[in-house]
Amino acid sequence: MKFTKMHGCGNDYIYFDCTKSDFPGGSEGEKQAAIKLSDRHFGVGGDGIIIIKKGHSADFEMVMYNADGSRSQMCGNGIRCVGKYLYDAGYTAGREFTVESMGAVKKLTVQKGERGDKETWLSVDMGAPILQAEKIPVASPSTGSGTAGRVVMHPLIVGGKEYKITCVSMGNPHAVVFIDKKPAEFDVCGVGPLFENNAFFPERTNTEFAYVEDRHTIWMRVWERGTGETLACGTGTCATVVAGILNNLVDSDSPVTVHLVGGDLKIEWSGREEDSVFMTGPAENVFTGDVEL
């Protein structure tokens, strides 16, 4: 099958165009392909695979698998790359279109770049954040310092140490931990798996370790469930800014720039629970090829 390797801020996936034909082997074939092809030594290499299909409730559909073969509801960097692929391939008449993933419909807008450019900048309406504990989900509706039903600065013992977590879902669960130093010095690979598999998170969790530099700037590293540390996470970046606003660490009146290992994203949220989070960032082609499944 033909594939396209793309990345958003270093968060790289292998993309398959299945708008005209089905992926071989159905969902089980997709899962096994994700495990095989994501391997950076024996496969193409990536944080997972994303399959582009015709949409049901939107113009197009994104089907995403993590590197371990598990499904994920949403990927912010991945959906921007899907948008770039669709735009470059001429599947869209204009610069605005919709993409669904596991029933959630997102509106994409091409901001910068022409068809065929190596890099394109897109903005995505990521929808309103989910803040209620049972919907994220987390195992306990403990409120920490937040509004009833939210998990805001909630103490959690992980690996024998207490952390204060703020939990947000952007279609997938996130636990945000604010730390007092830039995350380049933090043991993400040691602590991340302990968070991912903690019983507090019934569907596992993505975990963001974030340092607030000022009211408009955050540095962040992320441990993604089913994949490990990645160079960026779009939904995690959105969740981190939401958590920062909930804890009055960053401002809601202008975009917040989040510095990730693989690049920068700009996030906007009004602070009102019913309002959408907007994410803007790059999507870039790496290479195309053919692979035996």
- Catalytic residue numbers read 75, 233
Instruction: Please say whether the beta carbons of 139 and 202 come within 8 A.
Output: yes
CA dihedral for 182, 185, 190, 191, sign (positive or negative)? negative
Please, how many CA atoms are within 13 Å of residue 15, restricted to the half-sphere of its CB? 29
Distance CA 229, CA 248 (A): 27
By C-alpha distance, which of 235, 256, 261 is closest to 171?
235
Which secondary structure element, helix H or strand E, spans residue 235, and what is its range?
helix 234-246
Task: Return the SS3 of 50.
Answer: strand
Long-range contacts of 87-90 (CB under 8 A, 24+ apart): 87/115, 87/120, 88/115, 88/116, 88/120, 88/285, 89/17, 90/115
Calculate the alpha carbon distances from 257 to 53, 196, 241, 280 in Å: 32, 26, 9, 10
- Amino acid 10 reads G
